[in-house]
Amino acid sequence: MDVLIALGCPYFPSTGGAVKVTRTIAEELVRRGHRVRVLALGRARVERGASLRDFLDRLDAAGIRATATEQGVDFDLNGVEVRAIDGAFRIAGELSAEIRKMDPDWIFLQTEDFRCMLLNAALEIAPERTVYFAHSTVQLPLGPDSADPRAEGARIFQRLRHVIAPSRWVASYVREHTGIEAHVVYAIAEVFGRPPFPSYGRHDAGSVMMINACGLKGLPIFLELAEARPNLPFSAVKSWGTTPADLAALERLPNVRALDPSPDVDSFYSQARVLLVPSLWTETFGLIVIEAMLRGIPVLAADNGGLPEAALGVSPTLPVRKISRYTTHAGVPVAADEIAEQDVGPWLEALDRVLEPTEYALRSEASREAATRWLSENGIERLERVLESLAVNE
């Protein structure tokens, strides 16, 4: 099977969960004997001011050998053929040319696609082979969750035949707002690494942790909890959403530490006692919920989007007042225009309860067992079976 993947963001380095999932899918398909080629943005980040030169320096620092082309650079990453293109608006043209040249069995697209340019290019040539991964409802061009709704994008989306949703919640959202029946394929097990996973759960050691400390991910709730429990250690992992203002807010509290991000997730999970996931925007699933549970770390997550599915019936989900308006850049939400005042009472009660020794031990063991069982049911084979069924029905 030959697969062509097109992204309106960098493939390397990965800047979020959606790209992490895409990279893992690509590498697992290659490992199973398929050919995978990727067209992506030749930048190390999506912010203004990012350049191809910065991207080349990042490749060099990672020991990745690249070949310059008229379009950008070509390189191989774990068997995946990657073309990183110098400029987002050029990717759609390259995609059209590559579809005709490669004639792939499948074309994979996802929500990081400004104004649906890549989707439109693929549907013009090969609608029956175009598969759309709805990683983020916030980045879809339609529905109440959309940060950048556009009539043109909605019309393009309606032409899709094949949509893959990362949760039942996303599948219902797509059905409600487009009438399209999406296929549910949870994040493949391989994205979490290879078992066995270390067990870190200790009720009397480590910190109450948040990952990607920013407004979109619920930083106001985290800060209020840290202020309400000054004798309890808290930590916040910085990531793509963390702003200088967020860091300043973290630094004002003496019981809070800001941690640097790392591709080695155990470098920070090993310091965690409880994981908070108080997202104020809609999470379509929530990879970090499974990551923490696999390590015996209890999770307290927001009750919205796909997070209750990721909690696997073990971790409690708690109410939040969701964000409704966003500041966007190239169609990507980068901040909330306004964050409603949050009721942290239920969060505080849940945190105190889970830290009780008996409750903690029960939740830690149940989390690890449920996540391990979930992992055994969601390997790359599940995606392969869905693709086989799509091919038969075309």
**Residue 70: per-residue pLDDT:** 85
Residues 317 and 198 occupy one common structural domain: yes
How many whole angstroms separate alpha carbon 338 and alpha carbon 355?
Answer: 32
**Residue 357: per-residue pLDDT:** 98
Within 8 A by CB and 6+ apart from 6, the residues are 38, 39, 40, 91, 95, 107, 108, 109, 118, 122
Cβ neighbour number for residue 194 with a 10 Å cutoff = 7
Residues 178 and 204 occupy one common structural domain: no
Q: How many domains does the chain have?
A: 2
pLDDT tens, position by position, 206-250: 999 999 999 999 999 999 999 999 999 999 999 989 999 999 999
Contact call for residues 379 and 190 (beta carbons, < 8 A)? yes
User: pTM for the complete prediction?
Assistant: 0.94
Residues 36 and 183 occupy one common structural domain: yes
Cβ neighbour number for residue 330 with a 10 Å cutoff = 18
**Residue 331: per-residue pLDDT:** 66
We report the CATH number of the domain holding residue 309 as 3.40.50.2000
Buried b (16+ CB within 10 A) or exposed e, 50-80: eebeebbebbeeeeeebeeeebbbebebeeb
Beta strand spans in the chain (E)? 2-6, 35-41, 66-68, 72-77, 80-85, 106-110, 130-133, 162-165, 183-184, 207-211, 234-237, 256-259, 272-277, 299-302, 317-318, 326-329, 332-336
Residues 154 and 137 occupy one common structural domain: yes
How many whole angstroms separate alpha carbon 147 and alpha carbon 329?
Answer: 10
**Residue 14: per-residue pLDDT:** 81
Residues 207 and 293 occupy one common structural domain: yes
Amino acid at 277: V
Residues 6 and 117 occupy one common structural domain: yes
pLDDT tens, position by position, 173-184: 999 999 999 999
Residues 142 and 254 occupy one common structural domain: no
How many whole angstroms separate alpha carbon 322 and alpha carbon 282?
Answer: 8
Q: Which domain holds residue 64?
A: 2-188+378-393
Residues 88 and 200 occupy one common structural domain: no
HSE, side-chain direction, 13 A CA sphere, residue 169:
17
Residue with tokens 């790359």: 380
DSSP 3-state assignment of 77? strand
Question: H helices then E strands: how many in the chain?
Answer: 14, 17
Q: Give a three-class secondary structure readout of 178-212.
A: HCCCCEECCCCHHHHCCCCCCCCCCCCCCEEEEEC
* CA distance readout (Å), 24 to 21, 257, 350: 5, 31, 34
How many whole angstroms separate alpha carbon 182 and alpha carbon 163?
Answer: 5
**Residue 330: per-residue pLDDT:** 65
Closest among 391, 387, 389 to 25, alpha carbons compared: 387
Residues 265 and 175 occupy one common structural domain: no
pLDDT tens, position by position, 72-82: 899 999 999 99
Which residue positions in the chain have pLDDT lower than 50?
A: none
Residues 52 and 176 occupy one common structural domain: yes
Residues 171 and 202 occupy one common structural domain: no
- In degrees, rounded to 5, the angle at the alpha carbon of residue 82 between the alpha carbons of residues 93 and 148 is 55
Residue with tokens 């509290």: 253
Residues 164 and 296 occupy one common structural domain: no
Buried b (16+ CB within 10 A) or exposed e, 333-370: bbbbeebeebebeebbebbeebbeeeebeebbebbbeb
